[in-house]
Amino acid sequence: MRIFVYEHLTVHGIGRDPDSPDHGMYREGQAMRNAVVADLEAMADVAVVGPDDAEFGIVIAPETGGVLEERVQHFQATHRLIASSLSALALTGDKLALADHWQRYGVPTPFTASAADWPSTRVPAVLKPRDGAGSCETYLCADDATFRRRVIERMAAGPPMIAQDFAPGRPASVAFLVGPNQTLALPPTFQTLSTDGRFQYLGGELPIPQELAERATAIGTRAVESVTGLGGFVGVDLILGDAADGSGDRAIEINPRLTTSYVGLRALAGTNLAAAMLTAFEGGVVGFLPWKSGRIAFSPDGSIFLPSG
């Protein structure tokens, strides 16, 4: 198999400058690219090559501005991609449409609406772009005055904004290997986010306590199985609420592509995750995946270290 890996920010140098507002996403993109390329190169029957020489491809790109959907559509014309369908990319890339979809399918998710239509009494609220990625332009607004000020500022900048009820709890994520015959959950991870109201991604850690892992997998599975056309590596961001019965757990968004958690997961995997992803996508059934013991933490740049505490 000859396969290329396209990572949008590193290809175009977007965010390479440490002072760039996109530098965080650049570091994550670089870490994801390096990790999956290393796993693919470890496979005897796979050659990682450029797009001109490849039959297959993996596309890593932000959903912002429809970039992921556009890049997948572009490469699909000439390659077989390990990717979700265009309709699945369109749905998951639109946070308002996805929230409405989840409401119809009974997937617990925060109330979501256009920022312009947000009730003044519904605070605290989270303001974010309708098609954003990487927590860019995301704000926790504790009161209506702050919310309205942020809305005016962001509307002047152009991208449509949405608002969501703030869901208290522990940020987490769960990734899946998705194919026509299997939706396989991988061990959930905790997410470390900034506490300044911007929710900047600072990394993660795994494994998480068993009872929380079961809750994360349960809501993540419901979120993924409600969307037709997902494929390959798919991540679900969620909040694990304080209630032990999981009644406060909420699905936040789906990332229909490789996510930074791949970096941490592969560090504890007892097998090649890229090989498992290809098996599932090609219609095979991935059996038992062994995992190493111990806990690890990982940073957005791909560094692996022991968690504190």
Q: What's the CATH number of domain 111-165, 3.40.50.10440, 3.40.1500.10, 3.30.1490.20, 3.40.50.720?
A: 3.30.1490.20
Residue pointed to by tokens 């990982």: 298
State whether the Cα torsion 177-242-134-159 is positive or negative: positive
Q: Hey, what are 238's tokens?
A: 């969620």
Q: What is the pLDDT of residue 50?
A: 97
pLDDT at 136 over 90: no
pLDDT at 156 over 80: no
Q: What is the pLDDT of residue 309?
A: 64
CATH class of 2-83: alpha beta
CATH 3.30.470.20 residue ranges of the chain are 170-303
Is 0.85 surpassed by the pTM of this model? yes
Q: What superfamily would CATH give domain 170-303?
A: ATP-grasp fold, B domain (3.30.470.20)
Residue 228 one-letter amino acid: T
Burial class (CB in 10 A: 0-12, 13-18, 19+), 60: buried
CATH 3.30.1490.20 residue ranges of the chain are 111-165
Q: What is the pLDDT of residue 307?
A: 86
- Do 60 and 6 contact (CB within 8 A), yes or no? yes
Residue 94 one-letter amino acid: D
